[in-house]
Structure 1
Amino acid sequence: MDASPFRSHWSLDPEVTFLNHGSYGACPTRVLEEQSRLRARMEAEPVRFLHRELEALTDAARASLGAFLDADPDDLAFINNATTGVNTVLQSLRFAPGDELLTTDHEYNASKNALDFVASRWGVKVVVAKLPWPVPSPQAVVDAVLAHVTERTRLLLIDHITSQTALVLPLATLVRAMRERGVETLVDGAHGPGQVPLSLRQLGVAYYSGNCHKWLCAPKGAAFLYVRRDLQPNLRPVVISHGYNSRRKDRSQFRLDFDWLGTNDPTPFLCVPKVLEVMGGMLPGGWPEVMASNRDKALAARAFLCQRLGVAPQCPEDMVGSMATVPLPDGFPELPSVRGLDPLQDRLFFEHHIEVPITPWPRPPHRHVRVSAQLYNSHAEYQRLAEALEALLG
């Protein structure tokens, strides 16, 4: 099988065709080496590292991430995953009877659970906007969401890029339209950073919770929460720690609250400057070329798989990033495994050594395969997937 020349930068299992970067990411070996160096430095003298050195290292990492996201570093807090950020915002906000919290039927299950939990605590209603499927245009998504906005709507929770269907949603248009209606937006940006260009300064969103371990390729446990400056006084981390009653005046309360939540391993987010350097240095055009190259590969994979399987794309090209979904024929009657995975996903892995998610969408027995495109992937791997699907579904 023709392998990508970039695969040597990762320690991926050579026996597995890995087409599922979107689930947990994959970290380049040079970045893992940096993490090991930082861990060794921390364990050599933990007090020196955590009390005397960590603050400056965190500031440097935050500045690097802020430059990449076009955001003021003072508006960013490091957290361990995007779901933590969604929970942090939802559990900081206050609601009243009659309020409505709006989301879509494509929302990531963990984030939807957090929304339902908070709604039940406050006795408010969760309104779910059903998006058209297949999706004819970005405007169709905007129209579907805005049709559910009322005078009682207090917040929109929405994915930047959906997990189940890999749709790049028209975020800027939605954020602007919601603010015009007096409603703020909380973005679950788990898949956004590193997959599509992102300027938080221009977006003007209230809250954006994003992962660094997926498409930025940082170590697991690196994520961030962006909070617009005017909303920071009313937001607190889920874990209240030493910063709450700090008398320091040289740092914002937002930083004081989030920069120390207790003893943890800070090395994943401290590797952000290194991963931005490493990934951005793999192609001559830097990060813009990395994202464009991955998108081109995802579009080519989608077109190839649709042609081989005799199916049609489910959304226009301008709603595709570095992932793409392809519909599959119905009628694979086996029950999910104990891991909750679709039986076809298990058979692809155990019989063909292909790791790729199969998602029941919009509901069983309808299903889609979601392919990811990272620098380490090659067209030959999508060919192998097509052959395996034809063998299993034929």
Structure 2
Amino acid sequence: APAPFVAVAVVGCPNLNGGSIFVAVAGGGVRRLSIHAGGYDAPLPPLAPPASQADARFVESVEGGHSNHHVSAAVAKDLSITAPPVRMDSMGKYAVVAAGDAALYLRLPRKPGYAEHTWDHAAGSLVLQEAGGRVTDVYGVPLNWSTGRDLTANVGIIASCGGPLHDAAVTAARARLSLEPSPFTAARFGTAEMRAEFPLAPSLTQLNHGSYGCTPRRVMAAWRAQQDEAEANPDAYIRRIMPARVTAIKARLGTYLDCSGDDLAVVENTTAGVNAVLRSLQLGAGDVLLQLSTAYSMVKNATGWLASVVPSLRVVTVQVEFPGMGQAPTGPGGADLVDAVAAALAASENAGRVRLAIFSHMASVPAALLPAERLCAAAAAVGVPVLLDGAHVVGQVAVSMRKLAAAGCTYWVSNGHKWLHSPRGTAVLWTAPSAQEALIPVSVSSAWYDNSLGRDLESMYARRFTYTGTRDYSGYCTIGAALDWREAVGGDAAIKAHMHTMALWAQQWLAQLWGTCSVLLPDECTGAMAMPRLPALGPKALPNAYEELQERLRLEDHVQVVVFSLPSPASVGARWYARASCPVYVTQADVARLGHAVLRLLGHEEAPQ
């Protein structure tokens, strides 16, 4: 069964600021209400770290039997915290940190084997997490709510406003307590236990996560809670609650993507983001759009449509070749890809006319990571703005928008529903500040010039995208729950590392099983999708076996995977490949099921030698 989690929390603090009640919903934020009729009722603002660790205040229990005061004092000293602790009882300590009146709550064990009571922390931890804080044990492991009345899978508790302070507190506490590595782990990736976190049909072998994603059960619960809240009071949700939550989520995404949340806008999907950019350009006769042959069909359709309605607009496509055998993608004829792009930009018929260069940050088929920073720099060198299509990127590989912006990126868009595990209909668009004023969403809504929706929270650029008419905005407000889920099951870095390792293993294992002995891309161009070459047709293969393989896998074996072909050089051999996604729920048995099904459907009685 999926791991239990805290869904709803209410913490009453009658002696805090004249009496406050904190109400939190997983993935839905936290509100602070006065206990007095007609008093305040407002969402807590996003937490901010202290100006320096020395300025931090920390809270702990009054009774020394509940927490090791001596070790807490030593940890505070290690963190350069000079203020004495604020000692108080009850879950009010979580509320104080959530409200920004303290930065750290330490509850350190006095003796080995001591376990905290679940009811002492469940509600408070959710209040703090929904305020943007972080709650773990002294190993940095999220609290495990599956162990009954006591938190026997955790040691101590550290709760904070998040950021570097939390990590520093974990390091200091472990050192002061002389702890060995944690005996507890989160749900193991690539296992049936992890698959149970997702609502996938038992009979389905899902190796096509890259197309439409799959939302974890816990995130779905938070999503539905958002929808229920919206239906309970539609006006309040759309006019007041939703804009505030989107602003808070963009702040979190800014940290995640290494950029300012003010430069982010939420869009339904990468399609909406790309079309907004293209249709904001005010193109004219003689203008040129430059794209790569790896551009997704949506991009090619959009540029093709523009060329059909704008007189004399030309679309220049730079061919990307895939030599295979583990070699990196190249330009035409094996030339360096970035050199080929630079040459196309500098060509006499294009020079000074290219209004936008569109590059795949990661292509779809094949799922190749391209040299995004170098491509941006090549365009920036001749003053050409760049749109990076990162549909598959966020949640799959690390992203630094700060570095991409420095290289010359102007626009970048990525889906959340694929690898971040947020609901479908959630994507993020980054725009360089210099280009924000001219950027127009696909749907021009009542928020275009001025509107009460988020007026005090977002810039006009952001508001134009946050509200694009009456529709369901609950998915946007659930992105935070997806980020929380990633932390709860092991952390973002661990997820990405596992998926990459799994993809490398899968493509090597399948290539060996199929006797192709090669994969399409080198390791550094591979994310979380394996792309081994398919075997040659066997003696029992049916006509059009390659062309019909994807559909036969779906119908006969309940295996979802992408099968594609490339115009590879003749020296590489077969030009058909599989794209097998390797999210955290995919097991080695899933990969083996694909491997043997492909052999049977391509006419082999046994693995080729």
**Aligning the two structures, in what range does the TM-score lie when normalised by the shorter sequence?**
over 0.9
SS of match in other structure, 1:149: helix
Q: Does the 8 Å CA contact 2:323/2:329 hold for their aligned counterparts? A: no
| Distance across 1 between alignment mates of 2:278 and 2:245 | 29
**Change in CA separation of 1:48 and 1:334 when aligned onto 2, cut-off 3 Å:** farther
Deviation at 1:144, TM superposition (A): 3.1
Q: What corresponds to 1:236 in structure 2? A: 440
Deviation at 1:170, TM superposition (A): 0.8
| Distance across 1 between alignment mates of 2:259 and 2:378 | 21
Q: What corresponds to 2:236 in structure 1? A: 48
Cα deviations by residue, 1:231-279 (Å, 9 ceiling, x for unpaired)? 1111111111122221777442202311211011111111111101101
Q: Say yes or no: does 1:134 pair with 2:335.
A: no
| Distance across 2 between alignment mates of 1:372 and 1:212 | 16
| Distance across 1 between alignment mates of 2:212 and 2:238 | 27
Q: Say yes or no: does 1:82 pair with 2:273.
A: no
Matches within 5 A, 1:14-163: 14-122=202-310, 123-134=312-323, 136-137=327-328, 140-150=336-346, 151=351, 152-163=353-364
SS of match in other structure, 1:258: helix
Q: Say yes or no: does 1:315 pair with 2:504.
A: no
Q: Does the 8 Å CA contact 2:212/2:418 hold for their aligned counterparts? A: yes
Q: What corresponds to 2:554 in structure 1? A: 349
| Higher relative contact order structure (alpha carbons within 8 Å, sequence separation ≥ 6) | 1
SS of match in other structure, 1:243: coil
Q: What corresponds to 1:279 in structure 2? A: 486
Cα deviations by residue, 1:133-167 (Å, 9 ceiling, x for unpaired)? 22533673323322322313221112111111010
| Distance across 2 between alignment mates of 1:209 and 1:5 | 32
- Alignment gaps of 5+ in structure 1: none
Cα deviations by residue, 1:71-113 (Å, 9 ceiling, x for unpaired)? 2111111111101100000000022332221111111101111
What TM-score results when the alignment is normalised by the length of structure 2? 0.61
Q: What corresponds to 1:196 in structure 2? A: 397
| Distance across 1 between alignment mates of 2:289 and 2:212 | 28
What TM-score results when the alignment is normalised by the length of structure 1? 0.93
Amino acid at match of 1:128: T
Matches within 5 A, 1:352-363: 352-362=557-567
| Distance across 2 between alignment mates of 1:163 and 1:333 | 28
Q: What corresponds to 2:371 in structure 1? A: 170
| Distance across 2 between alignment mates of 1:314 and 1:10 | 30
Amino acid at match of 1:303: Q
Amino acid at match of 2:492: W
**Change in CA separation of 1:76 and 1:342 when aligned onto 2, cut-off 3 Å:** farther
Q: Does the 8 Å CA contact 1:119/1:126 hold for their aligned counterparts? A: yes
| Distance across 1 between alignment mates of 2:341 and 2:591 | 34
Q: Does the 8 Å CA contact 1:159/1:169 hold for their aligned counterparts? A: yes
Q: What corresponds to 1:218 in structure 2? A: 422
| Distance across 1 between alignment mates of 2:364 and 2:384 | 24
**Change in CA separation of 1:390 and 1:36 when aligned onto 2, cut-off 3 Å:** same
SS of match in other structure, 1:31: helix
Amino acid at match of 2:534: L
Q: What corresponds to 2:600 in structure 1? A: 391
Q: Say yes or no: does 1:262 pair with 2:469.
A: yes
Q: Does the 8 Å CA contact 1:187/1:209 hold for their aligned counterparts? A: yes
Identity %: 34
**Change in CA separation of 1:50 and 1:247 when aligned onto 2, cut-off 3 Å:** closer
Q: What is the aligned-residue RMSD (CA, Å)?
A: 2.1
| Distance across 2 between alignment mates of 1:217 and 1:3 | 18
SS of match in other structure, 1:110: helix
- Aligned pair count reads 386
Once the two structures are overlaid, the 10-residue window that deviates more, 147-156 or 310-319, is 147-156
1:328 counterpart (514, 534, 543):
534
Q: Does the 8 Å CA contact 2:507/2:532 hold for their aligned counterparts? A: yes
| Distance across 2 between alignment mates of 1:209 and 1:342 | 32
Amino acid at match of 1:132: E
Deviation at 1:330, TM superposition (A): 6.1
Larger radius of gyration: 2
**Change in CA separation of 1:333 and 1:97 when aligned onto 2, cut-off 3 Å:** farther
Amino acid at match of 1:241: S
Amino acid at match of 1:121: V
Deviation at 1:214, TM superposition (A): 0.3
Amino acid at match of 1:320: T
Q: Does the 8 Å CA contact 1:330/1:366 hold for their aligned counterparts? A: no
Q: Say yes or no: does 1:7 pair with 2:214.
A: no
Q: Say yes or no: does 1:373 pair with 2:569.
A: no
- Alignment gaps of 5+ in structure 2: 1-189, 331-335, 569-573, 605-609
| Distance across 1 between alignment mates of 2:299 and 2:197 | 32
Q: Does the 8 Å CA contact 2:276/2:441 hold for their aligned counterparts? A: yes
| Distance across 1 between alignment mates of 2:556 and 2:525 | 32
SS of match in other structure, 1:291: helix
Cα deviations by residue, 1:26-54 (Å, 9 ceiling, x for unpaired)? 11000000011111111011112112212
Q: Does the 8 Å CA contact 1:330/1:367 hold for their aligned counterparts? A: no
Amino acid at match of 1:144: A
Cα deviations by residue, 1:345-386 (Å, 9 ceiling, x for unpaired)? 1111111111111123339x9422101111101111111111
| Distance across 2 between alignment mates of 1:227 and 1:219 | 23
Q: What corresponds to 1:288 in structure 2? A: 493
SS of match in other structure, 2:513: helix
